[in-house]
Amino acid sequence: MSLAIVHSRAQDGVAAPAVTVEVHLSGGLPGTSIVGLPETAVKEARDRVRVAIQSAQIDYPARRVTVSLAPADLPKDGGRFDLPIALGILAAAGHLPKESLIHHEFLGELALSGELRAVSGVLPAAIKAARAGRTLIVPRANSAEAALVSTADVRSADSLLDVLAFLRGAGTLPEACAGQWLEGGPTEAAMFYPDLADVRGQQHARRALEIAAAGGHHLLFVGPPGTGKTMLASRLPGILPALSESEALEAAAIRSVAGHGIDLRTWRQRPFRAPHHTASAVALVGGGSIPRPGEISLAHCGVLFLDELPEFDRHVLEVLREPLESGRIAISRAARQAEFPAAFQLVAAMNPCPCGYAGDASGRCACSADAIRRYRARVSGPLLDRIDLQIEVPRIALAELGTEGAVGESSAATLARVVAARQRQDERAGKPNAALRHREVQRDCALATADRVLLERALDKFGLSARAYQRIVRVARTIADLAGEENIGTPHLGEAIQYRRVGARA
């Protein structure tokens, strides 16, 4: 009897739990069985592995082969275990030294020819392998992605024969390299963002966009068609501070497990996701029999833009309420559960009425008051209550759009103020103002007595909730940070209050 042990990683949400592949050869009728809660693709590995070994001109053991994937209660899926299973069988049969497997982890799907094919979820596995102090061996197609983890020792291989030669000491495997984009920072990433200078006019909306970026606040634009709501929203990522390496890896890991691949030119820039209003709840928050991340997770550390907000199914919008507060989404199915990060910044846009022109100076709106009320009621009060900044984006004069009109301020100039404001927040609380908890709001957002009275009167007048009180104070704190002020003043609070009037009227 002979036993070999190989290290690998499963995929469970954005986690990469360790899997020990145990291969045992014994007497009896020849055959191969795989145990340890394998899905169909893993069960089929026995046929792929047998033919791949034979293609490498090595005799497949004519013995009873038992493959155990531990822990037994963790579901395993995909072709990621083909390579470790093949190596375990070869080590148990004496074709390579067992001690050569101890300090390595393996991922990869085998073609019948013995070539290695790419698998999903390599980036989380590289992070965990680095922490475990092991070298990760992956298919060449996955090497650049795995190399994004600067602390990981990653080697790439084209075939099973390449890996065998390396483990026998008869060959080498190249170190995986992500190239110049591994160190890509804000300078390289900035070129991929549209510039705020393209926006003419709309100074009030630009101001709200800057405040949203400075404090991490959610934002709603309300206005007629063609006023620049989408144009403004698409420029928010360009005025957000650059991602740290850990944040960029988190966001990239989600794309990896979703099977979307990672563009090495843009992996350090903030995600911008804009799902269509026909998207289902599963598409938005994630799901499936094997849970996969949805749009809110793909927007992690970035921006989720929902255009035509009332056109989304109300049930779809309601599932946003919990992740807007917690920054995470838990997906539970009968057999599988997974939790994905979803710390996104929401930017939404909507028309003021079904035809889109309520309140427009042209007077073209013919919608009744009941029709407008029903239209706005498609977005629930609890969801609106979680959006910090709610402003109107009116139609602007054509003269402001002409070539002779003044060019707006660039994203770079706005970004400088946003970064300065974020630095003040980091020094004070270690987080953006939008993420402050109740006690932190009391500590960092103290109001003078007269300002507290002013805010209480505004809450009564507009019928706002206690949650709105907290959010208004956080926005006022951000406005004060942009102004470089130590304390919140009456002008800061007054400006913050006016950004809640749209939701109050709705």
What's the mean pLDDT in 11-23? Answer: 94
Task: Please tell me whether residues 56 and 106 are part of one structural domain.
Answer: yes
Whether the predicted pLDDT of 122 surpasses 90: yes
Question: Per-residue pLDDT averaged across 403-432, rounded?
Answer: 87
> Domain of 52: which CATH number?
3.30.230.10
User: Cα separation of 291 and 289, whole Å?
Assistant: 6
Q: Please indicate, yes or no, whether residues 214 and 149 belong to a single structural domain of this protein.
A: no
Q: What is the DSSP letter of 159?
A: B
Q: What is the mean pLDDT of residues 304-309?
A: 96
Among 65-69, 88-92, 374-378, 397-401, which is the least confidently predicted range?
397-401
- pLDDT tens by residue, 405-416: 556 789 999 999
pLDDT band at residue 506 under the 50/70/90 scheme: very low
pLDDT of 397 higher than 90? no
Same domain, 198 and 138: no
pLDDT for res 332? 82
At residue 193, the pLDDT reads 84
Q: Tell me which of 153, 177, 201 is where a domain ends.
A: 177
Are 151 and 206 in the same domain?
no
* Co-location of 216 and 262 in the same domain: yes
The CATH code of the domain that includes 261 is 3.40.50.300
H-helix segments, 286-410: 295-298, 314-318, 321-326, 369-376, 381-385
155 and 302 in a single domain? The answer is no
Query: Please, what sign has the CA dihedral across residues 99, 100, 103, 105?
Result: negative
Share of the chain above pLDDT 90, in %: 75
- pLDDT tier at 188 (50, 70, 90 boundaries)? very low
Q: What is the mean pLDDT of the chain?
A: 90
Q: How far apart are CA 21 and CA 8, in angstroms?
A: 7
Judged against a pLDDT cut of 70, whether residue 421 lies above it is answered with yes
The average pLDDT across 221-235 equals 93
According to the model, what pLDDT value does residue 185 have? 46
Q: Can you give the pLDDT at residue 401?
A: 64
Residue 431 has pLDDT above 90, yes or no: yes
- The SS3 call for residue 175 is strand
The stretch 442-455 carries a mean pLDDT of 93
Task: Give the per-residue pLDDT at 416.
Answer: 95
303 vs 394, which has greater pLDDT?
303
The residues facing 140 across adjacent strands are none
Same domain, 362 and 393: yes
Q: How confident is the model at residue 500 (pLDDT cuts 50, 70, 90)?
A: confident
Model's pTM, two decimal places? 0.88
Q: Give the torsion sign (CA, 209, 196, 358, 275).
A: negative
Q: 221 has which bridge partners? A: 349, 391
- Pairwise pLDDT comparison (333 vs 48), residue with the higher score: 48
pLDDT on residue 288: 80
User: What does DSSP say about strands 31-35 and 64-70: parallel, antiparallel, or unpaired?
Assistant: parallel
CA 132 from chain centre, in angstroms, equals: 25
**Model confidence at 227: pLDDT above 50:** yes
Model confidence at 263, in pLDDT bands (50, 70, 90)?
Answer: confident
Same-domain check for residues 171 and 196: no
State pLDDT tens for residues 307-329. Answer: 999 999 999 999 999 999 999 99
Q: Are residues 166 and 202 in the same domain?
A: no
Measured CA angle at 70 (ends 89, 78), to 5 deg: 75
Write down the pLDDT at residue 443.
Answer: 92
Q: Judge if 287 and 304 occupy the same domain.
A: yes
In this predicted model, what pLDDT tens digit does every residue of 452-490 receive, in sequence order? 999 999 988 888 888 889 999 999 999 999 999 999 999
In what helix (H) or strand (E) does residue 493 lie, and over which residues does it extend?
Answer: helix 490-498
Kindly state the tokens that stand for 241: 């501070």
pLDDT over 70 at 180, yes or no = no
Instruction: Calculate mean pLDDT across residues 380-388.
Output: 92
Same-domain status, 334 and 420: yes
- 189 pLDDT higher than 70: no
pLDDT tens for each residue of 56-65: 999 999 999 9
**How far, in whole angstroms, is CA 107 from its chain's centroid?**
23
Is residue 504 pLDDT above 60, yes or no?
Answer: no
Q: Where among 158, 177, 196 does a domain terminate?
A: 177
pLDDT band at 140 (very low <50, low <70, confident <90, very high): very high
Q: Residue 164 pLDDT more than 80?
A: yes
Q: Averaged over 429-435, what is the pLDDT?
A: 94
How many folded domains does the chain comprise?
Answer: 2
Which of 177, 207, 236 is a domain's end point? Answer: 177
More confident residue, 94 or 186: 94
Same domain, 401 and 298: yes
Distances (CA, A) of 58 to 22, 54, 89, 155, 160: 20, 5, 11, 24, 11
Range of the domain at 408: 186-505
Please check the confidence at residue 294 and state whether its pLDDT lies above 60. yes
Tokens of 95: 């074709």
Q: Is the pLDDT of residue 83 over 80?
A: yes
Paired strand residues for 65? 25, 32
Report pLDDT for 187: 44
- In tens, the pLDDT along 200-218 reads 888 999 999 999 999 999 9
